[in-house]
Amino acid sequence: MKVSYYPGCSLHATGKEYDQSMKAVSRALDIELKEVDDWCCCGASSAHSTNFDLSIALSARNLVLAEKDAMDVMVPCAACYNRFKTAEHHLKADKDLKSKIEGVIGAKYQGGIAIRNPIDILFNDIGIDTLAKKVTKPLAGLKPVSYYGCLLLRPPEVCQFENYENPYMMDKIMKTIGADVKMWSYKTDCCGGSLAISKTSIVVDMCDKLMRAAREADANCVVTACPLCMANLDMRPSEGNKMPVFYFTELISLAMGLPGSADTLKSHIFDPRPLLQQLGLI
């Protein structure tokens, strides 16, 4: 399988663990990633907070560049995924806006490629059975809760990404790699997003609430697919509420026994390695 790959800004900076593990897992599952040439920031979250046309134009430019390769585009970052889907939604619904944005970016938007998140690709294209065959070290003793956050799922008519009230694909992926997934009702609650800088105390309260709920569900870690959620949950909970947080691709890489699968873990703010060592997983 071959797809275009849009890493976005986060995966080249604070979310580099996601980028590294995503590429490692893709190679192991025979997913060839073709990085979009000359990609730029999607605008999250500064552009859509200040200028609607700019927010659409930035994502439209990236989609036009991805269309040159005539393949579905994989967008790992939840914020980037949301901005791409939002641009697609408005461009297809509003001909005048489409014409205006095409004038701004100097290119035609065809709308002929699918915007995909890796959770969707792994679950629906690669498949649970194929993933199961690649597992060499089941994650026995790991008890995660799956945390999607807001941006992969809302608004549902725009994102069109699995069950927006009770998403399940990440749960099934985690079960396939041997984790004892815990059920909870906070999968799609907000972590506070970019308010972490301007309204830090609010984000601390929101992250504390999520971590307490995870413990009440008998979880010993949280797994996510969003760099912003990762940053907040890894950094913002108050002392005593912290627990390990992983990108879902890091855990897949670990379960597959891929070379260097534990290397990204040293970059986490709250060190997850003691838990994994206790469980004999690293």
DSSP per residue, 173-241: HHHHTT--PPP-S-TT----TTHHHHSHHHHHHHHHHHHHHHHHTT-SEEEES-HHHHHHHHHSSPTTS
Place of tokens 């040159």: 68
CATH number at residue 81: 1.20.1050.140
Question: CA nearest 39: which of 60, 21, 23?
Answer: 60
Statement to judge: residues 271 and 136 lie in one domain: yes
Statement to judge: residues 135 and 111 lie in one domain: no
Q: For position 70, what pLDDT does the model report?
A: 94
Q: Write the pLDDT tens digit of every residue in 22-73.
A: 999 999 999 999 999 999 999 987 777 789 999 999 999 999 999 999 999 9
Last residue of a domain, one of 116, 143, 176: 116
246-262 average pLDDT score: 97
In a domain, 198, yes or no: yes
Statement to judge: residues 49 and 140 lie in one domain: no
Statement to judge: residues 216 and 100 lie in one domain: no
In a domain, 221, yes or no: yes
- At residue 193 the predicted structure's pLDDT band, cuts being 50, 70 and 90, is confident
Domain that holds residue 54: 2-116
In a domain, 220, yes or no: yes
In a domain, 54, yes or no: yes
- At residue 198 the predicted structure's pLDDT band, cuts being 50, 70 and 90, is confident
Supply the pTM of this predicted model: 0.96
Q: Write the pLDDT tens digit of every residue in 103-123.
A: 999 999 999 999 999 999 999
Q: Quote the tokens at residue 175.
A: 């079960």
Last residue of a domain, one of 83, 116, 149: 116
CATH number at residue 192: 3.40.50.11810
Q: Looking at the 3D structure of the chain, how many domains does it have?
A: 2
Statement to judge: residues 187 and 255 lie in one domain: yes
Statement to judge: residues 90 and 181 lie in one domain: no
Statement to judge: residues 16 and 95 lie in one domain: yes
Last residue of a domain, one of 58, 88, 116: 116
Strands (E), 102-184: 115-116, 144-147
Q: Is the peptide bond before 155 cis (omega within 30 degrees of 0)?
A: yes
Statement to judge: residues 146 and 108 lie in one domain: no
193-202 average pLDDT score: 86
Question: Quick check: 162 pLDDT over 80?
Answer: yes
In a domain, 121, yes or no: no
Statement to judge: residues 170 and 37 lie in one domain: no
62-86 average pLDDT score: 97
In a domain, 124, yes or no: no
In a domain, 125, yes or no: no
Phi and psi of 34, rounded to 5°?
-110, 105
How much of the chain exceeds pLDDT 70, in percent? 100
Torsion of the alpha carbons at 189, 117, 23 and 255, rounded to the nearest 10: 60
